């Protein structure tokens, strides 16, 4: 038996039919030479032979406790978790996006282990796809990325197991309940102390640096403008993708002392302002983005959810590429400085308070009335640098398919793989019915920033 942490449990508590709480990825593969539908049928049959390991063999225990528990599913049914879809001819990427958008909007069955695996065949140019989704209570984006990388090999003949075929292990609570019982009060006391010291320190820094030091780069709570994507959500989703060379994006930032993440935020910000302008809705204030940050030290392999979120003030209206990138670089640094030396529990509690406010606003139907705690989510997840394979098929692209949050109907997640930055755009379908127009704005802004920021 394994008890979920408070942060893990949060994703179960806030989930609604309109806001499913899972992370997902879309892997697009090239069929091996000479292989076709029969090979995929054999592949699917072979995948069914792999037994699940932890946590893919665990389901939620039905209980009334405050913290949910995971137990082994004695009635595990691999045929439920593995699905096979065939796209109709011609198998365009637009058809693929529509299928994945519908799958992404469905809740995962809580009476079974919290994951699904979909093989999608029939994609044009002799390609097929894996769509994998796992409940956010089980893992965050960094852990999911690690599991996906481990389920592929570095050579075509690598015989790596699928993502769910992980080592089976028993939860610590089953093995050492007496030790956990002793540690629980100690852990609770430590967390209470960290929260009591850390949150006032963050709030104090915000007030001092913004109102005494005059640092206008800091994002104040509830300071973002009203936008069409800060709307009440329904379960339907829109999905689109983009891809850009990592080296060119890094070169844009290198000449300005900015990071890859700064460049991504600047391009997203400029594209969003262009998109909103084309809709006749110009933001009067800078947008505020939630930027998830992995809290694991280098080399740390702890799984589950160990993430916080920076609240980053984006650029002003009318800024050019250089000015916008500089402003966002300063905003990101200011947001990081707020958390410097603060216990992780406090940074997590502060960052999740914005999500809590948004969830309250969604439940009370205050979208459009209450100032949005955040305008959008922009996340950057690193992946393998070298080309990967699965059972001889070459992995051509890996698009992140993230979730949206209450009153925050737009998520832009980027994933770096084999020299390319793959961009996954997901939105509430009613809030952003023309998501492809935003993707086109991203392409335009990327070209403009490359010309303006990359030295000749």
What pLDDT score was predicted for residue 351?
85
CA distance 375 to 4: 29
Q: How many residues comprise the chain?
A: 456
Task: Give the helix ranges, DSSP H, for 208-283.
Answer: 246-254, 260-278
Tens of pLDDT, residue by residue over 72-98, are 999 999 999 999 999 999 999 999 999
For the ranges 80-84, 293-297, 394-398, 410-414, the lowest mean pLDDT is seen at: 293-297
| Position 170 confidence tier, pLDDT thresholds 50, 70, 90 | very low
Amino acid 98: pLDDT: 96
Give the pLDDT confidence score for residue 81 in this predicted structure: 98
Whether the pLDDT of residue 102 is over 70: the answer is: yes
For every residue of 352-373, DSSP letters joined together read HHHHHHHHHHHHTT-BTTBPPS
Characterize the bridge pairing of strands 69-72 and 58-60: antiparallel
What is the band of 221 on the pLDDT scale with cuts at 50, 70, 90? confident
Considering only 32-46, 73-87, 171-185, 249-263, which range has the smallest mean pLDDT? 171-185
Res. 277: pLDDT tops 70 = yes
Q: Which of 259, 27, 13, 267 is nearest to 132 (CA)?
A: 27
Nearest 5°: phi and psi at 419?
A: 85, 0
Element (H, E) at 333: helix 321-339
DSSP state of 254: H
Distance CA 17, CA 234 (A): 8
- Where does the pLDDT of residue 54 fall: very low under 50, low under 70, confident under 90, or very high at 90 and above? very high
Q: What is the predicted pLDDT for the residue at 319?
A: 94
Q: Helices 246-254 and 260-278 sit at what angle, rounded to 10 degrees? A: 100
pLDDT of residue 297: 65
State the pLDDT confidence band at 62, using cuts at 50, 70 and 90.
confident
Phi, psi of 437 (to 5 degrees): -65, -35
Q: Which of the four pLDDT bands, split at 50, 70 and 90, describes residue 345?
A: confident
CATH 3.30.559.30 fits 219-381+421-453, yes or no: yes
Is position 436 annotated as part of the catalytic site? no
The predicted-structure confidence for 399-420, as pLDDT tens digits, reads as follows: 999 999 988 999 999 999 999 9
What are the structural domain ranges in the chain? 219-381+421-453
Q: Which residues are 164's β-sheet partners?
A: none
What pLDDT score was predicted for residue 295? 79
Q: Give the torsion sign (CA, 331, 333, 334, 339).
A: positive
pLDDT tier, 331 (very low <50, low <70, confident <90, very high otherwise): very high
Give the residues across from 405 on adjacent strands.
Answer: 408
Between helix 435-453 and helix 321-339 the angle, nearest 10°, is 100
Active-site residue among 22, 136, 434, 436? Answer: 136
- Alpha-carbon distance of 352 to 354, in angstroms, equals 5
Q: Residue 377: its pLDDT value, please?
A: 95
Mean pLDDT of the chain: 90
CA angle at residue 241 from 291 to 317, to 5 degrees?
A: 55
pLDDT at residue number 348: 86
First vs last Cα of the chain: how many Å apart?
A: 59
Banded pLDDT at 181 (limits 50, 70, 90)? very low
Q: Where are the alpha helices (DSSP H) in 33-77?
A: 37-47
Task: Please report, rounded to a whole number, the percentage of residues in the chain having pLDDT higher than 90.
Answer: 68
């Amino acid at each position: 038996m394994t008890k979920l942490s408070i942060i893990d449990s949060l994703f179960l508590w806030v989930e609604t039919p309109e806001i499913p709480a899972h992370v997902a990825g879309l892997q697009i593969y090239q069929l091996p030479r000479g292989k076709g539908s029969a090979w995929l049928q054999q592949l699917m049959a072979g995948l069914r032979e792999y037994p699940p390991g932890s946590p893919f063999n665990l389901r939620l225990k039905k209980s009334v406790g405050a913290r949910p528990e995971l137990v082994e599913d004695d009635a595990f049914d691999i045929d439920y978790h593995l699905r096979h879809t065939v796209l109709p001819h011609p198998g365009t990427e637009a058809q693929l996006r529509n299928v994945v958008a519908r799958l992404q909007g469905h809740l995962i069955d809580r009476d079974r282990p919290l994951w699904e695996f979909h093989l999608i065949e029939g994609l044009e140019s002799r390609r097929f796809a894996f769509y994998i989704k796992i409940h956010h209570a089980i893992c965050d984006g960094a852990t999911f990325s690690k599991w996906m990388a481990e389920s592929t090999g570095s050579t075509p003949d690598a015989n790596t197991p699928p993502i769910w075929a992980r080592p089976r292990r028993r939860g610590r609570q089953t093995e050492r309940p007496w030790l956990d019982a002793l540690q629980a009060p100690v852990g609770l006391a430590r967390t209470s102390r960290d929260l009591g010291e850390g949150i006032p320190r963050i709030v104090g820094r915000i007030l001092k640096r913004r109102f005494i030091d005059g640092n206008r780069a800091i994002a104040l709570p509830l300071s973002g403008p009203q936008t069409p994507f800060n709307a009440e959500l329904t379960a339907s989703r829109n999905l689109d993708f983009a891809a850009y060379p990592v080296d060119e994006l890094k070169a844009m930032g290198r000449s300005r002392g900015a990071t890859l993440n700064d460049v991504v935020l600047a391009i997203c910000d400029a594209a969003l302002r262009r998109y909103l302008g084309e809709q006749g809705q110009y933001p009067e204030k800078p947008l505020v983005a939630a930027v998830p940050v992995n809290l694991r030290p280098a080399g740390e392999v702890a799984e589950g959810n160990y993430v916080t979120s920076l609240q980053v003030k984006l650029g002003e209206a009318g800024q050019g590429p250089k000015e916008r990138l500089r402003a966002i670089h300063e905003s990101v640094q200011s947001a990081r400085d707020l958390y410097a030396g603060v216990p992780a529990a406090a940074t997590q509690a502060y960052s999740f308070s914005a999500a809590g406010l948004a969830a309250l606003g969604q439940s009370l139907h205050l979208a459009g009335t209450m100032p949005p705690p955040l305008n959008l989510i922009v996340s950057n997840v690193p992946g393998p640098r070298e080309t990967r394979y699965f059972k001889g098929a070459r992995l051509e692209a890996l698009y992140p398919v993230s979730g949206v949050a209450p009153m925050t109907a737009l998520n832009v997640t980027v994933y770096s793989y084999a020299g390319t930055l793959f961009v996954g755009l997901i939105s509430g379908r009613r809030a952003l019915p023309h998501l492809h127009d935003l993707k086109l704005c991203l392409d335009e802004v990327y070209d403009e920033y490359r010309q303006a920021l990359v030295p000749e």
